[in-house]
Structure 1
Amino acid sequence: MAIPLSADALIKALRAEGVTVVEHNGWRTHNRNHKGPWGPVNGIVIHHTVTRGTDNTVRICRDGHTNLPGPLCHGVIAKDGTVHLIGHGRANHAGSGDADVLHAVQRESYATTPPRPNQNDTDGNARFYGFECENLGDGQDPWPAAQIEAIERVAAAICRRHGWTAKSVIGHKEWTNAKIDPRGVSITTIRARIAERLKHKPSAGSGTHPQTLPVGSPVSLARLRTAAREDPSAPQSQTSYRSGVLTVEKALHAEGLLAEKWIDGSYGTKTLAAYAAWQRRLGYSGADADGIPGRKSLTALGTRHAFPVYS
């Protein structure tokens, strides 16, 4: 058990762990403390939002809705890895869960996963920090690498300050049998990453939005479109525009859309599918999300990953 970190201590811990933080107006006093206690705290619950778009997600999690007033968490972890702090104190995020799970988290006594929840008899809002992750929760929406790393850093920062291990971090679905989040990502793997991070000193971070590092050279839209049309049907590993394709593949990998093993400079079927997923993320559908780059979608990718686009 532990007394919750003060707002100042929380943000200091996050920044020390290299987390990019955005403080939203009033977050330090935005809470549901008038409805019950917050603390002593025992761990951290990770959620998905079932929303699209960071601004929209932050607004919903901050304000809540008629049947569930905000804040719905303490922070929103966006797809780009930015953590938006929106509340401090009791939040409507965990709800009721299983006392056996709470005891296992308190003791950090389970092996790989906590006991399966089968009753909802304990107030989780009093006992846990809560972080909502921007994701549709359909099992198809990607979890970008930057977002996974931010979850790892946020959880490690709080665990480090409280003297907890990674076993104090659970998914919402591990707290109650009434929820499925976070879906599409392995909370067991995330715990393993947190455990590894906690073996080392926190990595320094400025706490301001980082400049995105370049992943390659300027990309020709025309040559990339030709590669997208020719490479999928060409012999294995044949490429018609290696440098430009590599740049785009690295960016797609950073977005969590392409496995590292497919970064090979060939615009094959895996790259085609990954780029189509990028187009869908931007709101395109049907023939407009066929994996063949267009100027708007490629420029958007280049803006996020610091490579210029030319004709």
Structure 2
Amino acid sequence: MATPMTAAQFAAALRAEGVTVVEVGNWADHNRNHKGSWGPVNGVMIHHTVSEGTGNTVAYCRDGDSALPGPLCHGVIDKQGVVHLVGYGRANHAGGGDSHVLAAVVAEDYGDRPPATHEHQGSAGAVDGNPHFYGFECVNLGDGKDPWPDAQTEAIERVSAAICRHHGWTARSVIGHLEWSDWKSDPRGWSMTGMRERIAGRLGHPTTATPAPAPVPARPTVSLAHVVYAARHDPAAAQGHTTHKAEVLLVEKALKSEGLLATRWVDGSFGTKTVTAYAAWQRRLGYSGPAADGIPGIASLRRLGAGHGFDVKE
């Protein structure tokens, strides 16, 4: 068990391990600490996002939605291996898991993998992992086909080693979400056992890397096709597409800022209230009749994005 690092120590530890870091907004003060404790910390948990696109994923992991408020992790690892820090403190990433797994991680006493998990969020014996784990979401569709570039898996290795090095932990303090909850399959596409071997190898040597300068944060992109799909389909079905939901949230937040949509309807579901709000936006731009039906068009969506920080692709 350990006291969590300060936000400054966290960012510095990652950079010292050679991680390229982007600090997103007020990430150091963005957390869910008002909902419960943050710490003692016991390990690192790795996830995949079931999404594509860096900007959209970072925005969603930072803010979440009405059903699952952000931050949804501490850092988002994109396919170029850049780590975008979106929150620090208690985050909605681990959820319920198995107490036997937690005990094995705390003791760092297991073979090549922790004991099998038999718990999940809401199950009778589940314990809350959010106070106990640093969490990283990795941009990947999670379908077993989406590639994991070397730069991305190396960044996973480096962030895990950085935290373990600071706390004096071994690689057995790093687990995947699928090893914590029997409902989860992430990360899918490579082995946590192999990743722990890589982390152990890195911990066997001192840090020597010189961090690269931070890149410019990615600007979110909204696909017209995705939001039109969300507007024309059953909201529950459309919300099953994590990428679509993240993009709808960007549109809804813009409509809210324009005074056209109430906060309660900013939920990632392009339902009746959002359609009505978007129709009002179209009328504000001078459209009428069928052209103001609440279904986004390329011109009106680009006008909305231009004033609210996102780009639009057809």
User: TM-score higher than 0.5 here?
Assistant: yes
Which residue of structure 1 aligns with residue 197 of structure 2? 192
Secondary structure, in 3 states, of the residue corresponding to 1:69? coil
The 5 Å alignment of 1:85-100 reads 85-100=85-100
Which residue of structure 2 aligns with residue 41 of structure 1? 41
Tell me the amino acid that sits aligned with residue 78 of structure 1.
D
* CA offset digits 1:152-192 (Å, max 9, x no partner): 00000000000000000000000010111001121111110
Provide the C-alpha distance between the structure 1 equivalents of 2:172 and 2:212, rounded to a whole number of angstroms: 26
Tell me the amino acid that sits aligned with residue 158 of structure 2.
R
Provide the C-alpha distance between the structure 1 equivalents of 2:211 and 2:158, rounded to a whole number of angstroms: 14
Provide the C-alpha distance between the structure 2 equivalents of 1:203 and 1:84, rounded to a whole number of angstroms: 22
The 5 Å alignment of 1:122-201 reads 122-201=127-206
The 5 Å alignment of 1:244-259 reads none
Provide the C-alpha distance between the structure 2 equivalents of 1:123 and 1:157, rounded to a whole number of angstroms: 24
1:14 aligns with 2:14: yes
Secondary structure, in 3 states, of the residue corresponding to 1:45? strand
Q: Give the CA deviation at 1:207.
A: 4.5
* CA offset digits 1:103-133 (Å, max 9, x no partner): 0000000010000101241110010000000
The 5 Å alignment of 1:27-66 reads 27-66=27-66
Q: Give the CA deviation at 1:208.
A: 1.6
RMSD of Structure 2 on Structure 1 (CA): 0.9
Q: Give the CA deviation at 1:66.
A: 1.7
1:204 aligns with 2:204: no
Provide the C-alpha distance between the structure 1 equivalents of 2:212 and 2:127, rounded to a whole number of angstroms: 35
So what's the TM-score if we normalise by structure 2?
Answer: 0.66
Secondary structure, in 3 states, of the residue corresponding to 1:188? helix
- Whether the aligned pair in 1 keeps the contact of 2:72 and 2:91 (CA below 8 Å) is yes
Q: Give the CA deviation at 1:205.
A: 2.1
Identity, in percent, stands at 64
The 5 Å alignment of 1:101-112 reads 101-112=101-112
* CA offset digits 1:30-75 (Å, max 9, x no partner): 0000000010000000000001100011011001012100000000
Task: Mark the runs of 5 or more structure 1 residues left unpaired by the alignment.
Answer: 211-311
Provide the C-alpha distance between the structure 1 equivalents of 2:24 and 2:212, rounded to a whole number of angstroms: 14
Provide the C-alpha distance between the structure 2 equivalents of 1:52 and 1:15, rounded to a whole number of angstroms: 25
- Whether the aligned pair in 1 keeps the contact of 2:17 and 2:211 (CA below 8 Å) is no
Tell me the amino acid that sits aligned with residue 165 of structure 1.
T
Provide the C-alpha distance between the structure 1 equivalents of 2:151 and 2:82, rounded to a whole number of angstroms: 8
Tell me the amino acid that sits aligned with residue 206 of structure 1.
P
Which residue of structure 2 aligns with residue 287 of structure 1? none
Tell me the amino acid that sits aligned with residue 205 of structure 1.
T
So what's the TM-score if we normalise by structure 1?
Answer: 0.67
Provide the C-alpha distance between the structure 2 equivalents of 1:30 and 1:152, rounded to a whole number of angstroms: 25
Indicate how the Cα distance of structure 1 residues 207 and 35 shifts in structure 2: closer, same or farther if over 3 A, else same: farther
Task: Mark the runs of 5 or more structure 2 residues left unpaired by the alignment.
Answer: 121-125, 216-314
Q: Give the CA deviation at 1:137.
A: 0.3
Tell me the amino acid that sits aligned with residue 154 of structure 2.
E
Provide the C-alpha distance between the structure 1 equivalents of 2:197 and 2:211, rounded to a whole number of angstroms: 25
Report runs of 4+ in structure 1 exceeding 4 Å deviation.
Answer: none
